[in-house]
Amino acid sequence: MSAGPRTTTPDGGFVRRIGLFQATAINMSQMCGIGPFVTIPLMVGTFGGPQAVLGFLAGALLALADGLIWAELGAAMPGAGGTYIYLREAFQYRTGRLMPFLFVWTAILFIPLIMSTGVLGMVQYLQYLWPSMSQSEGDVVGVGVVVLVVLLLWRRIESIGLLSTVMWVVMLISVGAVIIACYTDFDADLAFTYPDGAFDMGTTGFWLAFVGGLNIGIYDYLGYNTTAYLGAEIKNPGRVLPRSIVYSIVGIMGIYLIMQIGVLGVTDTDTISGSSSIGSLVLEKAWGKGAARTVTVLILITAFASVFAGLLGGSRVPYDAARDRVFFKHFARLHPRHRFPTVGLVTMGVVTAAGFLIGNHTDFNTIIVLLTAVMVIVQAVSQVAALIVLRRRQPGLRRPYRMWLYPVPAVVSLVGWIAIFCYADKNSPDRHPIEWALAWVGLGCVAFLIWAKVERTWPFGPREIDEVYVNRNEADMDGRIDGEPAPAGAAASEVGPGGAGATGGGVAEPA
């Protein structure tokens, strides 16, 4: 084994300018994009009645348990890349760079797939305003949306933070309008009258519906970890990251439950499950077509905001890997003036457009099941293992936040993700998401072996152990107590297991 010194600090030259409010807004914009507006019909159809609320509750529980894993790891290792960093630090001792490489390999697929569902939802709701829109016209609109998002992200991070906040406010207005419309025409009998056997946990049908609902539910909450991908740009990440994750999950859970119950109290479950624009339908019934059209525009803006926030965070994932020589070197390029990863942003945009086109010619639920199946193997389950490994391997790692009730949330998260994976084929018949997910990971292993052979690293060379975050200076890690960025060129001490240290200079941000 050898210690490989780095030439840059772990924050990669990013500037810490995103505070708690903006961080929570970014998470919530990503979480509550088009999700509830298009998945309420899917959820009701899966459960077959108002008991569909169970799906959102189960999703919230899994999101909170998994979110506490992100909170501990993100607070301790606040760099650009999120899971990539955690897997790199945890698994370097046994398998070299395999796990972080596989994560980036899969993230380039599943993160854009999540964004593509947002674009799919936008096209569905646009049909309410443009009923004659053909599938080919929808293709053009969806791809155009992706191009516009990439162009808007081609700028400095502080302007993006402001834009995210504005979109977050629009999201609250659109969701609030739908909720108010629901409760002006609310019928408790519709919302709380359950079919016979709705809660019969002794039947296979109940558990198939429950896991299917859990899959849809966790999809709706995805995005609570967006700020972890932006860890190098978060002020005081030891405090802001955990709070932004927990606040966003709890806030969105409340919004989802109020909206779900409200929609169930407006119309019958058959109408809900057959609708592609349930939000517009509810508004039209309560306030008429004029109000429905107006709020539909806000829903479209909300969906746009979720795609915007997701590509903002996702584009940072391959950057840190490439900078550490764990992925293709072209992804390490930053814009010379605005300091954002150019190749990562363009790549995520292209894959998002491709995912949208695939989904627009198949169906929405298939994309959801496929992306969660791919995500489970290398991110969700591996991150649970990383948490445990790092507590054992790096007991001296500074942890500003430690998971509540450890290891209970980790166990809950593990069980939930494994259930989603094992039932993926049953929740998407004839699409074979498990097989496709395993094939993609297998292809990633082949790509890693080829890459490792060229780079002469494990298993074709020595493992490189570099415990980057163990002995970092607290002021450097948190960007100073008052939230200002650390001085340009601030050093990061990197100490390997043999005690050899190396120092790397930071990259200064242009004034």
Whether pTM exceeds 0.75: yes
**pLDDT tens, 261-284?**
999 998 888 888 888 788 888 888
d(CA 99, CA 92): 8
Q: What contacts 151, CB < 8 A, 6 or more positions away?
A: none
pLDDT at 178 over 70: yes
Q: Is 432 left (phi over 0), alpha (psi -120 to 50) or beta?
A: left
Q: Is the model more confident about 230 or about 241?
A: 241
Amino acid at 433: P
Angle between helices 237-264 and 20-31 (to 10 degrees): 40
Distance of alpha carbon 211 from the chain centroid: 20
Q: What contacts 487, CB < 8 A, 6 or more positions away?
A: 506
pLDDT at 39 over 80: yes
> What fold does the segment set 20-461 form as a domain?
Amino acid/polyamine transporter I (1.20.1740)
The CA-CA-CA angle for residues 69, 72, 73, to 5°, reads 85
20-29, 169-178, 370-379, 484-493: lowest mean pLDDT where? 484-493
**pLDDT tens, 455-474?**
888 999 888 888 888 866 44
Q: What is the mean pLDDT of residues 178-186?
A: 89
* Tokens at 408, concatenated: 């209970």
Q: What single string gives the DSSP state of each residue in 17-85?
A: -B-HHHHHHHHHHHHTSSHHHHHHHHHHHHHTSGGGHHHHHHHHHHHHHHHHHHHHHHHHS--BTTHHH
pLDDT for 492: 33
Q: Is the model more confident about 399 or about 477?
A: 399
d(CA 483, CA 132): 51
pLDDT for 298: 86
d(CA 343, CA 341): 6
Compute φ and ψ for 364, nearest 5 degrees.
-65, -45
Cβ(280)–Cβ(125) below 8 Å: yes
pLDDT for 210: 94
User: Confidence band (pLDDT; 50, 70, 90) for 428?
Assistant: confident
* Percentage above 70 pLDDT, the chain: 86
User: Confidence band (pLDDT; 50, 70, 90) for 84?
Assistant: confident
Q: Is the model more confident about 237 or about 507?
A: 237
Q: What is the mean pLDDT of residues 108-136?
A: 90
pLDDT at 323 over 70: yes
d(CA 317, CA 313): 7
pLDDT for 4: 39
- Please, what is the end-to-end C-alpha distance for the chain in angstroms? 41
Strand-pairing partners, residue 59, are none
Question: 8-18 burial string, b = 16+ CB within 10 Å, else e?
Answer: bbbbbbbbbbb
Q: What is the mean pLDDT of residues 285-313?
A: 84
pLDDT at 5 over 50: no
Cβ(319)–Cβ(81) below 8 Å: yes
* Percentage above 90 pLDDT, the chain: 38
pLDDT for 162: 66
pLDDT at 306 over 80: no
pLDDT for 28: 84
Q: What is the mean pLDDT of the chain?
A: 82
30-39, 131-140, 408-417: lowest mean pLDDT where? 30-39
pLDDT at 243 over 70: yes
The CA-CA-CA angle for residues 461, 463, 468, to 5°, reads 145
pLDDT for 14: 66
pLDDT for 477: 45
pLDDT at 497 over 70: no
Residue ranges per structural domain of the chain: 20-461
User: Confidence band (pLDDT; 50, 70, 90) for 159?
Assistant: low
pLDDT for 64: 96
Cβ(344)–Cβ(319) below 8 Å: yes
